């Protein structure tokens, strides 16, 4: 799809949003529509609302060169502190400087007024009332799903309502999103999305002394061009993985991942205290691949989604010549993954479209009927494509089969255990698909020169009390497996790690020799006591910060509770009043430093080294 076609994709919902009242006025089966007065009111509404939409776009002709992106709803908060007089002075000056745009706006409004066809002064009452109402009700019934599909950007269940971040899917550079987007759409889709607010917890100097997302080369060792394969498994909570639950239920719990358990045992590196940064798929991808945490609102759904962003693909692809590709077996564009992959430097995207085009597989015969190609077949497609890429390569795959409605292929209905939750049979099926992927890959020449990273996007269907706490709802595996490097193995039962640590760990493992921006840290470093996890609790609109021996809950102003999470796994006792004051103070200051710097960088578009200057 070219830029023009992509523009229509975003223009259509903007037109429908803008003209929603007009559409209702003329689709509802009411005889008022035949009255001249009704048409006059409709004509005024049509002209006013569409003129406002046009004015928004024209104003961005002036504003865009300064911001580099379309105006969003955050503009209302940006200018909320300006006085009326000051605002009139600003706008007055701009009107005079850009008089030609003001003239164009007036001409367009006049054209809209003239183009609205007036109704004759005398209109006959329609004959055949039964036929009149039948046809108009039928038109309404047909129009409603068409409008909903157009606003969502598609008609399938896999399609999320498109938002401004989807524009990244159709352009080569973030600045080009302004070509396919329009300002009314950008404002409509960011209304009620809480903009990132920069707190004033401390001075910038103090915040940087406590924590910095700027990573400098860690050592002088030569860069090691290993392949990197990141596997993000849908809903793969630790709850369902046997290795992490050897003592659960008095040692009787087996889990649903025999292959993954054997892989860890055979020689992988993993962590007891490893956590996700979010609770949704669209929150997991930025954390895993770009070391961006999730606070307040999912990045995909905010104006900051148009910021320049880096990630493993960009750092290795642009700076080290890696071939990069992202794989997801759902409809191309689903969940906004393709847009995010493009925005963060992935050169190729392989989805359901590319799978169907490959004659070595069975196309939509392998479609699960709801979301995506079954994991077993798509993992094999993934392995085949890896064998065709030039080395070194960096790839990521997002699995799909362990997702609602939680079904497995008919031929496997009785093969895998069903468990206590519908999801668990799907977990077992994906584990089998993972086994087949590694069996196929192990015969490839690139295999022993590859670092595999395995994690989940988020948790799902927790059962046992430990996994149902606020912290338990973020327990996901983080596993590093390098078949050609026997030194990378072990089970770390001390340090606290999270998804945003994956990118810095991979780059440090490769001895990456360039600076970059990442909010995580190197899990394989020499200071395990510095590890932490910080995530947003949507149910209470607060943060949870985990470090050392404690988990703090913070409402943005005050620490409200604290738990000794290593010994009190169910968070039964609030120890805020008894924990050492020095420890509480240190943890609170570092947490505030991370939050403050994240908000600053999000609101000022400084998520890359180039923007950091």
The reported pLDDT for the residue numbered 611 is 63
**Burial class of 150 by CB neighbour count within 10 A (0 to 12, 13 to 18, 19+):** middle
What is the DSSP annotation of 6-62?
Answer: HHHHHHHHHHHHHTHHHHHHHHS--GGGGSHHHHHHHHHHHHHHHHHHHHHHHHHHH
Radius of gyration of the chain (CA): 27
**Pairing, β 393-398 against β 227-233:** parallel
Q: Give the three-class secondary structure for 575.
A: coil
Alpha-carbon distance of 396 to 604, in angstroms, equals 28
The reported pLDDT for the residue numbered 176 is 72
Alpha-carbon distance of 435 to 461, in angstroms, equals 23
Report which DSSP code applies to 156: S
The reported pLDDT for the residue numbered 195 is 65
Is residue 187 within 8 A of residue 56, CB to CB? The reply is yes
| Residue 82 binned pLDDT confidence (cut-offs 50, 70, 90) | very low
The reported pLDDT for the residue numbered 136 is 77
Q: pLDDT, tens digit, for every residue of 480-529? A: 999 999 999 999 999 999 999 999 999 999 999 999 999 999 999 878 78
Does the structure show a pLDDT above 80 at 159? no
The reported pLDDT for the residue numbered 65 is 64
Is residue 224 within 8 A of residue 527, CB to CB? The reply is no
pLDDT, greater one: 132 or 364: 364
Half-sphere exposure in the Cβ direction for 18 (13 Å, CA):
23
Strand order in the sheet with 550-554: 532-537, 542-547, 550-554, 559-563
Strands (E) located in 276-373: 323-328, 348-350
pLDDT, greater one: 87 or 322: 322
Q: Give the three-class secondary structure for 506.
A: helix
The reported pLDDT for the residue numbered 122 is 54
Encode burial over 551-565: b for 16+ CB neighbours within 10 A, e otherwise: bbbbeeeebebbbbb
Alpha-carbon distance of 447 to 323, in angstroms, equals 16
Nearest to residue 528, comparing CAs of 547, 554, 556? 547
Report the length, in residues, of the chain: 613
Alpha-carbon distance of 236 to 427, in angstroms, equals 7
Q: What is the mean pLDDT of residues 22-37?
A: 79
pLDDT, greater one: 125 or 339: 339
Please give the share of the chain, as a percent, with pLDDT higher than 90.
Answer: 62
Least confident of 46-60, 64-78, 174-188, 327-341: 64-78
Does the structure show a pLDDT above 90 at 399? yes
Angle in degrees, 0-180, between the axes of helices 99-115 and 84-97, rounded to the nearest 10:
90
C-beta atoms surrounding 221 within 10 Å? 10
| Angstrom distances, CA of residue 593 to CA of 199, 383, 560 | 10, 42, 18
Alpha-carbon distance of 317 to 326, in angstroms, equals 13
Does the structure show a pLDDT above 60 at 312? yes
Alpha-carbon distance of 10 to 170, in angstroms, equals 11
| Residue 333 binned pLDDT confidence (cut-offs 50, 70, 90) | confident
Name 456's Cβ contacts closer than 8 Å, sequence gap at least 6. 232, 233, 234, 235, 236, 237, 276, 284, 476, 477
Nearest to residue 261, comparing CAs of 454, 416, 423, 426? 454
pLDDT, greater one: 164 or 32: 164
Q: pLDDT, tens digit, for every residue of 539-549? A: 788 899 999 99
Q: Average pLDDT of the chain?
A: 89
The backbone torsions φ and ψ at residue 475, rounded to the nearest 5 degrees and listed phi first, read -80, 105
| Angstrom distances, CA of residue 465 to CA of 121, 239, 435, 462 | 72, 10, 30, 8
Q: What is the mean pLDDT of residues 441-449?
A: 97
- For the CA atoms of 438, 443, 446, 452, the dihedral, rounded to the nearest 10 degrees, stands at 10
Half-sphere exposure in the Cβ direction for 594 (13 Å, CA):
26
The backbone torsions φ and ψ at residue 122, rounded to the nearest 5 degrees and listed phi first, read -120, 120
Q: pLDDT, tens digit, for every residue of 448-492? A: 999 999 999 999 999 999 999 999 999 999 999 999 999 999 999
Q: What is the mean pLDDT of residues 380-388?
A: 98
**Which domains are present in the chain?**
3-188 (no CATH), 227-525 (3.40.720.10)
Least confident of 327-331, 522-526, 558-562, 588-592: 522-526
Q: What is the mean pLDDT of residues 68-82?
A: 61
The reported pLDDT for the residue numbered 350 is 97
Q: What is the mean pLDDT of residues 431-436?
A: 98
Roughly how many angstroms between the first and final C-alpha of the chain, as a whole number? 35
Nearest to residue 162, comparing CAs of 338, 35, 317, 409? 338
The reported pLDDT for the residue numbered 81 is 47
| Residue 71 binned pLDDT confidence (cut-offs 50, 70, 90) | confident
The reported pLDDT for the residue numbered 73 is 73
In the block, tokens 């590319």 appear at 354
């Amino acid at each position: 799809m070219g830029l023009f076609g992509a523009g229509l994709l975003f223009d259509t919902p903007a037109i429908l949003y803008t003209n929603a009242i007009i559409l209702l006025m003329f689709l509802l089966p009411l005889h008022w529509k035949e009255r001249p007065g009704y048409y006059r009111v409709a004509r005024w509404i049509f002209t006013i609302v569409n003129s406002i939409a046009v004015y928004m776009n024209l104003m961005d002709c002036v504003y865009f060169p300064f911001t580099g992106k379309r105006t969003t709803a955050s503009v209302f908060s940006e200018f909320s502190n300006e006085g009326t007089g000051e605002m009139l002075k600003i706008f007055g000056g701009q009107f005079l400087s850009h008089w030609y745009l003001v003239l164009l706006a007036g001409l367009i409004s006049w054209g809209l007024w003239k183009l609205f066809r007036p109704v004759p002064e005398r209109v006959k009452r329609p004959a055949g009332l039964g036929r009149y109402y039948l046809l108009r009700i039928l038109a309404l019934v047909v129009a409603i799903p068409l409008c909903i599909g157009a606003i969502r950007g598609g008609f399938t269940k896999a399609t999320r309502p498109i938002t401004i971040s989807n524009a990244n899917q159709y352009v080569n550079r973030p600045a080009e999103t302004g070509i396919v987007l329009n300002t009314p759409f950008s404002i409509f889709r960011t209304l009620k999305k809480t903009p990132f607010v920069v707190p004033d917890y401390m001075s910038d100097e103090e915040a940087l002394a406590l924590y910095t997302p700027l990573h400098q080369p860690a050592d002088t060792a030569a860069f090691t061009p290993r392949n990197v394969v990141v596997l993000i498994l849908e809903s793969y909570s630790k709850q369902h993985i046997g290795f992490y639950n050897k003592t659960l239920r008095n040692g009787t719990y087996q889990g649903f991942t025999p292959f993954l358990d054997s892989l860890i045992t055979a020689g992988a590196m993993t962590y007891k205290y490893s956590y996700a940064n979010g609770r949704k798929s669209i929150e997991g991808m930025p954390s895993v691949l770009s070391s961006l945490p999730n606070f307040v609102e999912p990045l995909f759904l905010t104006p900051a989604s148009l910021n320049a962003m880096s990630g493993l693909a960009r750092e290795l692809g642009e700076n080290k010549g890696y071939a990069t590709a992202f794989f997801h077996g759902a409809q191309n564009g689903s969940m906004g993954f393709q847009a995010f992959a493009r925005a963060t430097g992935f050169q190729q995207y392989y989805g359901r479209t590319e799978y169907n085009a490959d004659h070595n597989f069975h196309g939509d015969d392998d479609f699960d009927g709801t979301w995506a190609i079954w994991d077993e077949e798509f993992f094999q497609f993934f392995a085949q494509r890896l064998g065709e890429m030039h080395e070194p390569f960096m790839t990521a795959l997002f699995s799909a089969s362990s997702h609602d409605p939680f079904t497995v292929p008919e031929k496997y209905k009785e093969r895998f255990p069903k468990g206590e939750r519908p999801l668990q049979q799907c977990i077992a099926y994906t584990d089998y698909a993972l086994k087949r992927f590694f069996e196929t890959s192990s015969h490839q020449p690139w295999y022993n020169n590859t670092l595999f990273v395995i994690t989940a996007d988020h948790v799902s269907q927790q059962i046992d009390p430990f996994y149902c706490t606020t912290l338990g709802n973020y327990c996901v595996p983080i596993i590093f497996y390098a078949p050609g490097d026997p030194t990378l193995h072990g089970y770390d039962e001390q340090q606290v790690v999270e998804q945003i640590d994956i990118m810095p760990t991979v780059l440090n493992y490769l001895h990456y020799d360039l600076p970059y921006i990442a909010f995580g840290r190197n899990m394989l470093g020499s200071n395990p006591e510095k590890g932490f996890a910080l995530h947003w609790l949507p149910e209470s609109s607060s943060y949870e910060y985990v470090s050392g021996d404690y988990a703090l809950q913070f409402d943005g102003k005050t620490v409200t509770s604290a738990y000794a999470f290593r010994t009190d796994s169910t968070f039964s006792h609030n120890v805020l009043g008894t924990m050492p004051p020095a420890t509480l103070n240190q943890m609170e200051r570092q947490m505030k430093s991370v939050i403050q710097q994240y908000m600053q960088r999000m609101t000022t578009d400084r998520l890359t080294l180039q923007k950091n200057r």
